Amino acid sequence: MIGQELPRLQARADSLAREWRHAAAVADAIDSLERARVFVGHDTIRVGALTIVTNASPLPLREAAVRAWPLIDSVYGDDARQLEERPYAIVPVDPDTTVERPPRHNGTEIPWDQDVASLTLLLLSTVPVAPADTALQRWLGGEVRPLIHADVERAGVYVRLVTAPFEASRRCLIGDISACRDALDLFGRGDPVARWYRSARERRSVVLNTFTGYFDRGTHLATLQACANGSDSACTQLLRSLPPGGLPRPLTHDARTTLVDVALHLGGRDAYHRLAASVGLPIADRLAAAGGIAIDSLLSRWRAEILASRPTPVSLPPWGLWIALGWTILFAVFGLRSSRWRVN
């Protein structure tokens, strides 16, 4: 029983330690604002639960907060209320680097000539909610954050599915949901080398295009040469020798963030809480719990959104064809007049 309780107690201890560190940092930041000369008359800005501790400056922080809050609320739902007790601490500074900076502080320094758009991006990319657990961050590649340019990110995932050199990505594109699981690293068990790189050509390509500089020394050199000469077993051996997390996944961080975004929007205001609270479960189960639907259904919805975000092809107007033809003829004429094409 004690052995079974240890992981839970350790997770609880880690959570309490994180909360204590954040509370101490916020207290230090507020205390710093009180002490610094530049923060005489400091202000607290609140939009929804979003809270910013700052001082009077030209920074349009309230306008940025008004833009950022709906996106933050849509992702974190009821858990966004944490921001009432977890404020941003922002220190506006003179953009003139020759001007003396305020005394040491714990806030984020921002030149006060920044515009609303850049401040909104800052607020969205540094939301001070309690950090997610290590397993979720490791799979996702960072914290859960609002999608700042959702359409652009989904379009980028579509391009990745179309152009990725991995079979799992291509099969996901054409509707194989099991392949989508592979490409998004949702199985969690088994040999990732076999799941992600299904052909000898893929395995050889990954080794030679990504890890040649890593393996071209010491005891790995002979195996690398064998891989380069066509030995699939050598390529596989090299890939399996990489440390945990070293293998490039078929789909990038953007694909996983868009999947999480779909789950959170399907699952309602408690979705993020369910995702964060389900520590210890496989990532696929956690996403299904957050979205309130089976994981394969969630992946189907995600894939449909990615396909719907396909970049619009650039269409050439009728007169554009004649312009292109004219330029082609012009370049051809100049090319023929060049001395290298003349017959002596």
156-201 pLDDT per residue, tens: 999 999 988 888 899 999 999 999 999 999 986 778 898 888 899 9
* Surface-to-core class of residue 209, CB atoms within 10 Å of its CB (0-12 exposed, 13-18 middle, 19+ buried): exposed
- The pLDDT of residue 101 is 64
Which amino acid would we find at residue 300?
S
Tell me the range of 128-132, 206-210, 289-293 where mean pLDDT is highest.
289-293
Q: Evaluate whether 107 touches 91 at the Cβ level (below 8 Å).
A: yes
Distances in Å between the Cα of 171 and the Cα atoms of 16, 164, 256, 303 are: 43, 11, 17, 12
- The pLDDT of residue 84 is 93
Q: Evaluate whether 57 touches 112 at the Cβ level (below 8 Å).
A: yes
Of the listed ranges 44-53, 87-96, 275-284, the least confidently predicted one is: 87-96
- The pLDDT of residue 244 is 81
Rounded Cα distance, 222 and 62, in Å: 61
Q: What is the percentage of the chain residues whose pLDDT exceeds 90?
A: 56
Give the residue extent of every domain in the chain.
2-131, 135-308
Q: Residue 20's pLDDT band (boundaries 50, 70, 90)?
A: low
- The pLDDT of residue 40 is 47
Q: What is the mean pLDDT of the chain?
A: 82
Higher-confidence residue of 20 and 203: namely: 203
The length of the chain is 344
Structure tokens at 274: 């369910």
pLDDT one-digit tens code per residue, 61-95: 999 999 999 999 999 999 999 999 999 999 888 78
Q: Residue 38's pLDDT band (boundaries 50, 70, 90)?
A: very low
Element (H, E) at 147: none
Q: Evaluate whether 87 touches 119 at the Cβ level (below 8 Å).
A: no
Rounded Cα distance, 308 and 329, in Å: 39
Structure tokens at 216: 């071209």
DSSP-derived letter for residue 84 is: G
- The pLDDT of residue 311 is 84
Q: Where are the beta strands (DSSP E) in 76-186?
A: 88-93, 108-111
Within 8 A by CB and 6+ apart from 123, the residues are 50, 64, 65, 68, 72, 88
pLDDT one-digit tens code per residue, 130-151: 888 999 999 999 999 999 888 9
Structure tokens at 280: 């210890």
Phi-psi group of 284: left, alpha or beta (phi > 0 → left; psi -120 to 50 → alpha; rest → beta): alpha
* Orientation of helix 61-76 relative to helix 116-125, angle to 10°: 30
Q: What mean pLDDT is predicted for residues 28-44?
A: 53
Higher-confidence residue of 12 and 223: namely: 223
- The pLDDT of residue 164 is 86
Q: What mean pLDDT is predicted for residues 223-247?
A: 92
Backbone Cα Rg of the chain: 26
Q: Residue 267's pLDDT band (boundaries 50, 70, 90)?
A: very high
Please report where in the chains the tokens 């530049």 appear, as a residue: 38
Dihedral Cα 325, 329, 334, 340, nearest 10 deg: 110
296: number of Cβ within 10 Å = 14
* Surface-to-core class of residue 55, CB atoms within 10 Å of its CB (0-12 exposed, 13-18 middle, 19+ buried): buried
Higher-confidence residue of 99 and 114: namely: 114
Edge-to-edge strand ranges of the sheet holding 108-111 = 43-47, 50-54, 88-93, 108-111
